[in-house]
Amino acid sequence: MNAVLLAVLVMLILAMLRMHVVLALLFGAIIGGLSAGLGVEATLESFSEGMKGGAGIALSYVLLGSFAAAIAHSGVPRVFANTIISRLDQAEERHADRVETVVRRGILGALVVMAILSQNLIPIHIAFIPILVPPLLGLATRLGIDRRAMACAMTFGLVTTYMFLPIGFGNIFLNEILLSNIQSSGLNTEGVNVMGAMAIPALGMMGGLVIALLVSYRKPRTYRDMATNPSEQDVEEHAAAEAYRPMNGIVAGIAIVVAFAVQLMTDSMLVGALLGFIVFVIGQVIHWKEMDRVFNRGLTMMAGIGFIMITAQGFAQVMKDTGHIEPLVETVTNLFGNNTAIAALAMLVVGLVITMGIGSSFSTLPIIAAIYVPLCISLGFSPLATVAIIGTAGALGDAGSPASDSTLGPTAGLNIDGQHDHIRDTVIPTFLHFNLPLLVAGWVAAMVL
């Protein structure tokens, strides 16, 4: 069996069996390396080399977590949540069912909107999740909102936005990576409307979201009441809300503006989060003696994601060093000769497998573009269809991968009280509702463009 395919299957099966994602990635990488003939020593060296590339990403996420903890410490998110709850109590006396329905839809809609904005207008990626989600969980529990629906809402915004809108992270994905790599691989993309190419795949994602929210996870789901079983973080946030003062909100607003502005100017989440945290200290929202505790809270919140991302980089490096990615693509596509319909489907499926393993569509595109462009040209696909195939193949698997920050981020926020399983409540729902519709929509785009 192809080493890449074997490694991804092993990783996914072990993760499904409740093995920690870090261990599943490590075992998958070792088995993939051994099956490719790298040997134990060379496999581990490759894995370690790849992990070095994830250190910067992990540190950025840790600092973003600490920045989020600082915002929570200011009391702003909890005061916001308490205000909604108070108004809900007042409104329920008159129109209980209708009000609850409106609030339930409002929470899910707000998560979609914030996830979309986190990719372009406010490019903080998953950093909004630990800020916004934990304070809303008590209200979501009270309303019986299925957290799988919340996970799908966030993952939709995180993925669909960058694969369709060429702004912020979308500009990096669509213009700097997708079109740039297609161009360098021998296809002239001048005049290609990248939004037109990715419109049908984006509609596929939209269809998956509608099914998730209105069909699959529409019914209420019961969770343990955080008010009667509060976590340590919940207790701290309630205390912060009680000690809230208007100046805290002003400082929080300044810190957020500083963090966003610095990130845009320096293109560094790390520097932006660090300076935002410092603003909280200077503004006396976080006193010097509290700084270590608040920072550690953010570290705890995001360190798990950071370490998984480091491990995923090691896994990806082993996959590249096996030399089996290109043979996998060529073998699958050559099976179908000049049948463009089946060849397009095969390319999309291979992209799904590779991205599920690597965990990042941004890392997958450069790998597959060099292989897919000559193949698409030989099969007679138009430039627009080629962009759609490669863009979709790269995005496939980001939603639904155990090692993707598009699934790890939602889990970090929703599992703050230990009631949301990463694999069963985030990975499987997002895989079913986004990867499958995206696969179909990407194939349709290849056929009609």
Which domain range does residue 378 map to?
Answer: 3-218+233-448
Could you give the percent of the chain with pLDDT greater than 70?
Answer: 88
355-391 residue pLDDT tens: 887 777 777 787 778 778 888 888 889 999 999 999 9
Residue 223 lies in a domain: no
Residue 153 pLDDT:
96
Residue 391 lies in a domain: yes
Residue 287 lies in a domain: yes
Say if residue 441's pLDDT is above 80. Answer: yes
3-state secondary structure 351-394: HHHHHHHHCCHHHHHHHHHHHHHHHHHHHCCCHHHHHHHHHHHH
> Mean pLDDT of all residues in the chain?
82
169-197 residue pLDDT tens: 788 889 888 898 898 888 888 888 999 99
Residue 270 lies in a domain: yes
Type of residue at 357: G
* Residue 192 · residue 383 · CB < 8 Å: yes
Say if residue 76's pLDDT is above 80. Answer: no
Half-sphere exposure of residue 79: CA atoms within 13 angstroms, side-chain side: 16
Q: Which pTM does this prediction carry?
A: 0.80
Closest among 45, 16, 17 to 33, alpha carbons compared: 45
- Kindly state the helix (H) or strand (E) to which residue 416 belongs, with its residue range: none
Residue 31 pLDDT:
92
161's CB contacts (< 8 A; 6+ apart) are 115, 116, 119, 120, 168, 169, 170
Residue 225 lies in a domain: no
Question: What is the number of structural domains in the chain?
Answer: 1
Closest among 216, 215, 214, 182 to 198, alpha carbons compared: 182
Residue 227 lies in a domain: no
* Residue 71 · residue 259 · CB < 8 Å: no
The full DSSP string for 108-122 is HHHHHHHHHHTTTTS
The full DSSP string for 180-243 is HHHHHTT---TT--HHHHHHHHHHHHHHHHHHIIIIIT-S------TTTS--HHHHHHHHHHHT
Between 304 and 146, the higher pLDDT residue: 146
Residue 203 pLDDT:
96
46-73 residue pLDDT tens: 888 888 776 776 777 777 777 777 877 7
* Residue 263 · residue 272 · CB < 8 Å: yes
